[in-house]
Structure 1
Amino acid sequence: MKYLIFILGLIVVFGLAFIASNNRKKIKYRPIIVMIILQVILAFLLLNTGVGGALIKGISDVFAKLLDYSAEGVDFVFGGIANKGQAPFFLTVLLPIVFISVIIGILQYLKILPLIIKWIGWVLSKVSGLGKIESYNAVAAAMIGQSEVFISVKKQLGHLPKNRLYTLCASAMSTVSMSIVGSYMTMLEPKYVVTAIVLNLFGGFIISSIINPYTVSPEEDILDINGEEESEKQSFFEMLGEYIMDGFKVAIVVGAMLIGFVALMAAINNIVDMIFGISFQDILGYIFSPVAFIMGIPWDESVKAGSIMATKMVTNEFVAMLDFSKITDQFSARAVGIVSVFLVSFANFSSIGIIAGAVKGLNEKQGNTVARFGLKLLYGATLVSVLSGTIVGLIL
């Protein structure tokens, strides 16, 4: 049965992407098929083999240790605020972003991270058939963040045509930043977080290749990274200060968004419940339940799963993860895995503003272009999450 649902899920995802395609005749099917096969293989290796389990445990242990180190700094500054035995979300989940941001800054400064990104991007470009800058951007977005990544390619940003700009932005919205992966791992099982990151990397290219197909000529396929030059202008301690503040800004912004979105969702739920006798999230659950079902979630769990999925899209992934972590015991292990993978991406309405704002800060004209195709970006990124969940539904 799960194989039939998997095939149905692929047909629906690709059908929805095909409907939104801006040039169906230019779609290259061979790279898409290769990447789907790679997704299935990688998902199987990560979730169903000892090697994959050991790799995920190693990554999880690294982030657990980083969170422990972060806790030392947080306890020193805020140790007297929390009551004994309590773990406030801001202190335990958001503030560790500051320290992980520092680690990323050090790897960037030592030119280790740019080298890793460049070579993984090169391999991806050979698999996906897309340009070097698209492949670099997809890996870099997963490492340094959806808004910061555009700084590293700002020299080329103003020269990119609309179709290539869409793919860059779609990659940034489909993945997640390494600086907040540790925070995700406090709310979801690490194996699903790691699996989602890997699957979304390919999924972003798959969906973009259908919605936004194009060919890059050798003359256009140039990668000019300026992040390395920028680091040479700073001393080591200047860089540390910058990344510490960047990490703190991210924690504050995420915290502020959570306060606003959680409060707004509570208000809407209450108002809708008083009028219709059902919460707004329950209504969203019924709307999204068919999507949950084609991903492989059992029908009797699809409404609750659909509610969490919709919450992620209309608010953000943190709000959805918080809600989901409270009710995971109400889901089967299979549904937990599929929903968890779906949640690990920046595919939500607020990301449209974040990405458009980041690009506009570097190039106003291109920022306006991104704003115009913002809804199409969200549409594609959501399909990426559905595709990743469908792949996991086959494996579990």
Structure 2
Amino acid sequence: LFYLSNIKPKKSPPKALQMSAQFSLFLFWVLFCFVFRRHLEKKYDKACEFCKKHKTRIHMYTLVSVTAYLAVVIAACSLNFQRALPLFIITVLAIFFICWDFLIAKYEDRIAAFFCPGERCLEKQWFWLKWVLYAALIIAIICWLIFDTAKQGSRQLISFGGLVLYVLLMFIFSKYPNRVAWRPVFSGIGMQFILGLLILRTEVGFAVFNWLGVQIQTFLEYSDTGAKFVFGEKYMNHFFAFKVLPIVVFFSTVMSMLYHIGFMQWLIGKVGWIMEIFMGTTPVESLVAAGNIFVGQTESPLLVRPYLPYVTRSELHAVMTAGFSTIAGSVLGAYISFGVSASHLLTASVMSAPASLATSKLFWPETEKPRLTLRGGLQMAKGESKNLLEAASQGASTSILLVANIVVNLISFLALLAFLDSALSWVGNLFDYPQLNFENICAYVFMPFSFMMGVDWEDSFIVGGLLGYKTFFNEFVAYERLSKLIHNRKKGGSMYIDGVKQYMTVSNIFYSTD
């Protein structure tokens, strides 16, 4: 008894007594587990019997609950539709996808059989039909360029020429240029074009993404409550440490909770399925590319972790390319807090997912036979947390490493950048050019690339410098520089002299519009 109660006796009990106590405790634990397991089995059987017995009543309660919810939605919309518009949209989307999943799960074979004759006919006529489609596509592109140039100006031709130039460069430096499959390349560029057209050129698309951006900004501001409690009322005095980094922690927590309940897997599966159908990419690379829209480069491959040992080199290259091309959800909030438009960041991340697959398949074409081609047999990995609170705690704990990486990288890279700028300025001073620094060098190197991307000529020098920071240093450094430019332009301060717009780098080198 002394041994089991952890009370230190005056005299140590004999070794045999200790062993017998340990053995008795082990037997008690085995008996407890056996009884508890039997108890759970009985409870589970009773629950199953209860559900079977009251199946009709449960269905009736579910129907009543759904009807009550719909009544609440209708009442809210009738009182003030503008105020209840988000609830209405969420409800409509939920009903649509529930019906979609139900039909696919129950009638997938019938749907496939219904479209099977059309698929066979398309395969038979594909030899001549593809040339008709190619000709129609070329005519459509020419007509678009003519009408859009007449309306928007010659800048659109520069962007189109830049797109052709980038595709040509990637084709020249491709691993296997004679093995390129052009369907995913053209499909990825086409999906990017359609997304950009819907989001940036239509009022509805622009309003939707602008509304999403505002909602994300509002949602991220809730992290201020925790930051204020931990760091005090004057936490804004240390903007980056106490304002930006808590957003990373908060967003990581929320994403972990959504991943636990299965919402992220469901959403990523839908987006990945769309890309797989339209682009002809494999399930693994499609899911990872879709996942990178919402999660980071480290987390998205974990969605298909059991299948990673079986991917081909081309699929692995696509996984890595997709990770580098999009913005991780955990740091998206940090970039928004810098002052960068949330709708622009969200648009860029969504459009980059299909473009990353197109780039990857052009740079490293598929030369092997993928083992995983059946979409129905691919299951995404689930979270390891046992409940929602544990998922939230794990998400917050996981962000510690991310926050630490951000902090140490910024300290080291900014210090290294200051030293490099000082050394370059000293070298430039020898030739009466003390303005020489790393940003100027990158600006001159990347200025043609930024101009071919569609940036105005007067802004291409600035964007070239930012591209250099992002390429050679750290994207956080580039966004920190970009935030300064955004704030200066909003204030209308040193960016304007006598009402004339000025163009400058962060190092205060001015370039007048004259």
TM-score range, shorter chain: 0.7 to 0.9
C-alpha displacement of 1:283: 0.9
SS at match of 1:146: coil
Report the AA paired with residue 161 of structure 1. Answer: T
Q: Please list, as runs of the form range in 1=range in 2, the aligned pairs for 1:337-348 lying within 5 A after superposition.
A: none
SS at match of 1:95: helix
Equivalents in 2 of 1:269, 1:106: separation in Å? 43
The residue number in structure 1 matching 2:342 is: 190
Q: Please list, as runs of the form range in 1=range in 2, the aligned pairs for 1:244-393 lying within 5 A after superposition.
A: 244-276=396-428, 277=434, 278-328=436-486, 329=489, 330=495
C-alpha displacement of 1:266: 1.4
The residue number in structure 1 matching 2:205 is: 52
Residue 227 in structure 1 maps to residue 378 in structure 2: no
Equivalents in 1 of 2:395, 2:237: separation in Å? 29
Residue 145 in structure 1 maps to residue 296 in structure 2: yes
The residue number in structure 1 matching 2:186 is: 33
C-alpha displacement of 1:220: 2.9
The residue number in structure 2 matching 1:78 is: 231
Equivalents in 2 of 1:177, 1:322: separation in Å? 17
- The unaligned stretches of length 5 or more in structure 1 are 332-396
C-alpha displacement of 1:130: 0.8
The answer as to whether partners of 1:97 and 1:248 remain within 8 angstroms in 2 is no
Report the AA paired with residue 227 of structure 1. Answer: A
* 1:57–1:301 CA distance, 2 compared to 1 (3 A): closer
C-alpha displacement of 1:87: 5.1
Return 117-126 or 45-54, whichever deviates more.
Answer: 45-54
Equivalents in 1 of 2:349, 2:439: separation in Å? 26
* 1:34–1:160 CA distance, 2 compared to 1 (3 A): closer
Residue 211 in structure 1 maps to residue 363 in structure 2: yes
C-alpha displacement of 1:311: 0.6
Structure with larger Rg: 2
- When normalised by structure 2's length, the TM-score is 0.60
* 1:77–1:193 CA distance, 2 compared to 1 (3 A): same
Equivalents in 1 of 2:306, 2:265: separation in Å? 16
C-alpha displacement of 1:38: 2.6
C-alpha displacement of 1:265: 1.0
C-alpha displacement of 1:207: 0.6
Q: Please list, as runs of the form range in 1=range in 2, the aligned pairs for 1:19-168 lying within 5 A after superposition.
A: 19-80=172-233, 82=235, 86=237, 88-168=239-319
* 1:323–1:103 CA distance, 2 compared to 1 (3 A): same
The answer as to whether partners of 2:302 and 2:381 remain within 8 angstroms in 1 is yes
Equivalents in 1 of 2:274, 2:456: separation in Å? 37
The answer as to whether partners of 2:156 and 2:454 remain within 8 angstroms in 1 is no
SS at match of 1:143: coil
SS at match of 2:293: helix
Equivalents in 1 of 2:215, 2:381: separation in Å? 26
* 1:218–1:249 CA distance, 2 compared to 1 (3 A): closer
Decide which of 199, 221, 229 is 2:351's aligned counterpart. 199
1:226-271 C-alpha deviation (Å, 9 max, x unpaired): 521x43x623332221111112322222122111111211111111
- When normalised by structure 1's length, the TM-score is 0.77
C-alpha displacement of 1:49: 2.5
Equivalents in 2 of 1:219, 1:266: separation in Å? 49
The answer as to whether partners of 1:95 and 1:248 remain within 8 angstroms in 2 is no
* 1:254–1:295 CA distance, 2 compared to 1 (3 A): same
The answer as to whether partners of 2:216 and 2:342 remain within 8 angstroms in 1 is no
Equivalents in 2 of 1:34, 1:156: separation in Å? 25
The answer as to whether partners of 2:310 and 2:371 remain within 8 angstroms in 1 is no
Equivalents in 1 of 2:462, 2:207: separation in Å? 32
- The unaligned stretches of length 5 or more in structure 2 are 1-153, 429-433, 490-494, 497-514
C-alpha displacement of 1:151: 2.4
SS at match of 1:308: helix
1:136-179 C-alpha deviation (Å, 9 max, x unpaired): 01111222210122223222222222222111111111112112
Higher relative CO (Cα under 8 Å, sequence separation at least 6) belongs to: 1
Equivalents in 2 of 1:248, 1:52: separation in Å? 36
Equivalents in 2 of 1:48, 1:237: separation in Å? 42
Equivalents in 2 of 1:217, 1:161: separation in Å? 8
Equivalents in 2 of 1:29, 1:45: separation in Å? 24
C-alpha displacement of 1:79: 1.6
* 1:155–1:37 CA distance, 2 compared to 1 (3 A): closer
* 1:297–1:126 CA distance, 2 compared to 1 (3 A): same
The answer as to whether partners of 1:101 and 1:244 remain within 8 angstroms in 2 is yes
Report the AA paired with residue 440 of structure 2. Answer: D
The answer as to whether partners of 2:272 and 2:287 remain within 8 angstroms in 1 is yes
* 1:153–1:30 CA distance, 2 compared to 1 (3 A): closer
The residue number in structure 1 matching 2:149 is: none
